[in-house]
Each structure stands twice: as structure tokens, then as C-alpha cells.
Copies of this chain bind each other. A is one copy, B any other.
Amino acid sequence: MWNLKGVDAIAPADPAGLETLGRSDCYMLLRTVPIGRIVFTEAALPAIQPVNFVLDGDDVIIRTGMGSKLAAATRSAVVAFEADQYDEDALAGWSVVLVGRAEAVADDAERRRLARLGLTPWALGDRPHYIRVRPEIVRGRRIRRPATL
């Protein structure tokens, strides 16, 4: 179901069975899933919304409706973006979290370029608004129970 081939943990498992993943492993894993979650603040409360996304270099690109709450709440805000995958039977999984500033993509040429990245929102309707998240923090961890347990 999920694939950790080639993942090279940079730190050994801590006592809790968690491994810290290096930046390149984080990006490799992000490329294996179509859905992530944007974490932001809405009316002073913590908010989270699943989104599908693509990577543009190290940046996360999402699409939303022009007047959407997500577009409004993430305007030049610092947001977190998270993706993960878990295997319930194996009690194993990984999670990657990026933190950075979200910005609307205003430049027309840039929007045309992003339109070719193959980001098709699952939600229907007109979603012409592109949001770019430029990560300043990239963190990942993997959890895997020792086979002996």
C-alpha cells in the first residue's frame, strides 16, 4: 500500500520507535501521495483542510476557488502542510510536515505554467486560484514497530 523503498533515515529510531527523515526523503515520500492537509488559522481557531497538491520544485501548489475560505485564510499567512500514510496492520507509517508562507500566484505566465503540472482538484467547479506554499521548515518522521514485538 505504501512504499518506503529507498528511504534513508538520517537518524536511528528513538526509544519511541520514531525515525527522523532527511529532507530528500521527505520530498520523495510527498511525491507518492495525491492528498495533503493545509493547516491554518480561521477566526483565531486552528483549522485544517484536505487538499490535493503537486510539488513545484520544493514548493507545494494547491488550487482553490477564488472566494474560498481557504484562499482568504491563507493569504500571506504562515501555514503548515502535512501528508502521511499509515499501514494499520503493520503499525507503521510516515508523516511529513512543511511550514512556510502561503501566497497567491498572481502572475499570468506563472499560472499558465502551473496549469500544466497536472493538478486536477477532486472538487468540481471553477478553481482558478493557485496557492504556493514556500517551505521554510521540512520535517518528516517514520514510525515502525520492531518486528520482535
Contacts and interface: CB of A to CB of B under 8 A. Distances in A.
B35 A86 contact: yes
B46 A78 contact: yes
Interface stretch (A23-31, A106-114, A118-126): A118-126
A35 to B, nearest CB: 5
A124 B17 CA distance: 6
Given A35-B86, A80-B45, A95 B17 contact: no
A122 B49 CA distance: 25
Contacts of A127: 16
A145 interface: yes
A80 B16 CA distance: 24
Nearest to A86: B35
